[in-house]
Structure 1
Amino acid sequence: MNELARKLLDGDRAALARAITRVESTRAEHQREAREILTEVMDATGRAWRIGLTGVPGVGKSTLIEALGKHLTGQGKRVAVLAVDPSSSRTRGSILGDKTRMGELATDPHAFIRPSPAAGTLGGVAKKTRESMLLCEAAGYDVVIVETVGVGQSETVVADMVDVFVALMLPGAGDELQGIKKGILELAEILFVNKAEGENEKRARRAARDLEAALHLFAPASPNWNPVVLTGSALERTNIDTLWETIEKHREALEGAGELEQRRRGQQVRWLWSLVEEAVLSRFRSDEGVRSAAPALEEAVAKGTLPASEAAERLIRARTGPD
């Protein structure tokens, strides 16, 4: 067995961090080792609770994750957080400051926090989040939380890799329901109106009522679960226990109906084809004929002298590699 895989299965946090680095690396030798590690640890995956968390910047995602994480580690659970930071569209750089925002959880021996740059990936998730999630499960973590960027990208990507999709809302959301993305209400299985403390408490309750009314306009994401709206405060750590109890009830409902296993199988198959599409596109772009023809065709499309559809067809014909 790969030495890194063996240490990871023993619960070595440093080995887990190194394995995720291999997964995220673009170097060919690291990618080969990453595939080897994942293949060797697959039998140890699939046992964790997979939770997706989304919300606009400033809604308190990191604060809520820390509160929920400490609640769970207090129950003896091991918690892994895959926190995705937004990347600059110009420099591709990312601050990766989630560990500083979750200072208490970051020092908890039963928790593991891994910040990764989104680097423009749709859904506000890092390119290798799915693989990282499997490695965390193999390392023995009971709960894996995926924190998304929350900047309005396709939440479908997040929902399609977790068991339950939680959306954080601000207390004033009920006043501006028309501005809430329809996609969030269609995908969210639990909505948590955060910052329900002090003067915000009444606004939070009003927002919750408005959200509950709005949810009746959409078909639920699962036929075995009706979305639940909760209020609470991550800062004051109120109703965090209720949030976890609701997540537990969601899992029980899906497991009882056999939907959880079916959902995960479907996610795995869709993940397979997304990787195939990614690999095919990468090989196409690196083809010598395509690379040679691309600059002139891009310039013609940019100038408006050639339609993109014709340019695409010419690029496909320019490919010199095997069919």
Structure 2
Amino acid sequence: MTLSALAERLGAHLTGDPEALVKGVAGIEEAGPGELTFVANPKYAAQARYTAAAAVLVEPEFPEIPAPTLRVANPYLAFARAIEIFYSAPAYVPGIHPTAVVAETARIGANAHIGAYAVIGEHVILGDDAVVLSHVVLYPHVRTGDRFFAHAHAVVREHCRLGDDVTLQNGAIVGADGFGFARQHGKEFAGRAWYKIRQSGAAVLEDSVEVQANACIDRASIGETRVGSGSKIDNLVQVGHGSTVGRDTLLCAQVGLAGSTAVGNNVILAGQVGVAGHCTVGDGAIATAQSGIPGDVAPGITVSGYPAIENRQWLRSVAIFNRLPEIVRQLKAKSE
């Protein structure tokens, strides 16, 4: 594809040879001749001056560099769209594999693809244009919207409801039992002190939710667990029973939400953030990696550390903490 054609597809302003050819995409550190790359992080700006790439996606104000540039307001988003131009995902033709088990009471939408050894339970409603790959299991009474896509070994438990354009990556579990047990006291309960609480509520995923590999969205004991439209759940995330996650929120890898957590809209919880049960994280809040949140977080603020505090305060505190040995030496010197 020529640079001029690519610029038109991406809505970018081209500086450079319009007839130069692009055959693929690569990161700024690996890109070579014939490949498109991008700079969205200032950390990599210097490397753009020396890249051998055919062209670089940059912001409109980015300084001139020897390589051709495609200038666009959001280079990262444009690069994501460029990947789709040069990479063709596998296509799955409609049909039901002969080894799949589909209950007679299940309602399968138009153009669905159901792969080998998939199991579609009683009274399941599967929307149009669904793709259910090998070894996926949909328990009885599951409902999905249109364009549902479940990769191999994903599981959706009984009575759970999924909207349109929901994607489950490999091993994602929607609606497993929440971690609910009541303590039984007395000698007669020795060896069985914890009484399992029936998890009777469903998990609900609204439209355009993606749950990535080996993440778990637990069902509620009563009521429901709900993930709002457009939210993305990364690998190995735990959403506890009865929790709610708002719209367009990101839960990054290894985030853990205890039961009955309420996370607002447009929130970002970075990797390994933990939120205690019955806490509320307000709209637009951000928690940096490995923060521990034991209480409510106000809308729109960034928090860090444990217990999580406002990010700038945490940065000042860390700077002081690193100086503690020096401060102790100074105090001892003054006291002598």
Flag the structure with higher helix content: 1
Flag the structure with higher strand content: 2
TM bucket, shorter chain: under 0.3
TM-score (norm 2): 0.21
TM-score (norm 1): 0.22
Structure scoring higher RCO (CA < 8 A, sep ≥ 6) equals 1
Q: Which has the larger radius of gyration?
A: 2
